[in-house]
Amino acid sequence: MISVAQALEKVLNLFAPLECETVPLREAAGRVLARDAVAAFSQPPFASSAMDGYGVQNGDLATGAQLQVIGESAAGGGFDGSVQSGKAVRIFTGAPVPQGVDRILIQEDCTRDGDVITVGDTLDPSFFIRPAGGDFKAGDVMSAPRILSAGDIALLASMNCPFVVVRRKPVIALVATGDELVMPGETPGPSQIISSNNFGLKALIEANGGIARILPIAADNPDALRAVLDLGSDADAIVTLGGASVGDHDLVRQVATEAGLEQAFYKVAMRPGKPLMAGQLGHTAMIGLPGNPVSSMVCGTVFLIPALRAMLGLGKQAMPRKVARLGRDMGQNGPRSHYMRAQLSIEDGVLTCTPEARQDSSLLSVLSRADALLVRDPDDPPRKAGEMVPFIRL
């Protein structure tokens, strides 16, 4: 059995960044920017007012001073002339600051009578002028690669970038295997259960920038499995679920090998997830996840999310780890890395990670309420509550 780090390296070797495509900005949220985006304009393009009031010369502002209003500058329609001492221009938020103006007197700080304003006795100390290019300048870049957030989309729009170049979304074919499985909504027979892994993995894939295709459930016979694997052969990766262990009905490795799988590894020193395998099947990478529902979700988190990120051009890295204070004592760990479902909380102002008491790999209810996977190295010694421990956020 190889370590998690060795297995991840072998998984990531199966994947490279996908090709790029151009999409309209309105469809780009959550996509991975693949080419630097360049601002076509500065923002603001001109010095602009930050408030509603009057454009004036700072030197004129003394309590009781009177200034003559000679025009108006509104957003979308500036004032053409120049403003001399003793004069003022009515101005609104976002409007261009006229020549000669070096301060905005907000309307709350003066009174107006006809075309004359009188400066009040208290003045807001701010000048309320936003300089040209104060947000960004023409030629500034948003660097790729980058997962585009809502804020990024707003910035790109402001940069006048109506289209952006992004990575194509990786397509993952999901193959659940086993005679015992039926789809949600069907009525299971006496020894059947509902297939959950393919739905959980689809959600995980799509939350991480991929497209998941749920293929028909493959029955536990070689012909059925071969046929379904073939259906996935045009995807970027085939992910099988179950049938990976040593039982008489665990056929995935045998059938994939007969179909030409170049196996990269089989079995990893981790818990849950020991019977994980991966390799290359024709043009398609293949990852065989264990069938126990939590094992498939944990392996999906530890291996498939990094694989998706590699295809999206985001680099080849393990899932980021953070540290938190351990919420309760733990005994000695066994010889495999342990990814324990855990809950995060703030205790006495400190981020705390408390592993669930029950860690059986069939318990989806425990996974559903977990926020994190507490990570323990092989043979990690007993730990006391209060020690710092690494975790992966779910």
Ligand X SMILES: Nc1nc2c(c(=O)[nH]1)N[C@H]1C(S)=C(S)[C@@H](COP(=O)(O)OP(=O)(O)OC[C@H]3O[C@@H](n4cnc5c(N)ncnc54)[C@H](O)[C@@H]3O)O[C@H]1N2
Q: Is 189 in the site for ligand X (CB under 6 A)?
A: no
Residue with tokens 């739905």: 199
Tell me the residue type at 190: P
Check if the beta carbon of residue 174 is closer than 8 Å to that of residue 214.
yes
Return the number of the residue (35 or 267) whose C-beta is nearest ligand X. 267
What is the closest distance, in whole angstroms, from the C-beta atom of residue 18 to ligand MOO in the complex? Answer: 29
Which residues lie across from 268 on neighbouring strands? 2
> Binding partner of residue 181 among ligand X, ligand MOO, none, CB under 5 to 8 Å per kind?
ligand X
Q: Is 242 in the site for ligand X (CB under 6 A)?
A: yes
> Binding partner of residue 250 among ligand MOO, ligand X, none, CB under 5 to 8 Å per kind?
ligand X
Whole-Å CA distances, 393 to 280, 323, 347, 370, 372: 29, 10, 18, 9, 4
Report how far residue 205's alpha carbon sits from residue 185's, in angstroms, rounded to the nearest whole number. 22
The helix (H) or strand (E) run that includes residue 1 is none
- Phi, psi torsion values for 329, nearest 5 degrees: -65, 150
Q: Is 359 in the site for ligand X (CB under 6 A)?
A: no
Return the number of the residue (210 or 242) whose C-beta is nearest ligand X. 242
Return the number of the residue (196 or 280) whose C-beta is nearest ligand X. 196
* Residue of 272, 279, 313, 355 interacting with ligand X (CB under 6 A): 272
Name 27's Cβ contacts closer than 8 Å, sequence gap at least 6: none
Of 203, 275, 267, 198, the closest CA to residue 239 belongs to 198
What is the closest distance, in whole angstroms, from the C-beta atom of residue 290 to ligand MOO in the complex? Answer: 4
* Residue of 17, 210, 293, 300 interacting with ligand X (CB under 6 A): 293
> Binding partner of residue 247 among ligand MOO, ligand X, none, CB under 5 to 8 Å per kind?
ligand X
- Return the range that interacts with ligand X (CB under 6 A); candidates 64-72, 155-163, 290-298, 351-359: 290-298
**Residues near ligand MOO (CB under 6 A):** 271-274, 290, 292, 295, 361
Report how far residue 318's alpha carbon sits from residue 375's, in angstroms, rounded to the nearest whole number. 13
Tokens of 311: 């295809």
Q: Which residues bind ligand X (CB under 6 A)?
A: 176, 178, 180-181, 193, 195-198, 241-247, 250, 272, 274-275, 290-293, 295, 361
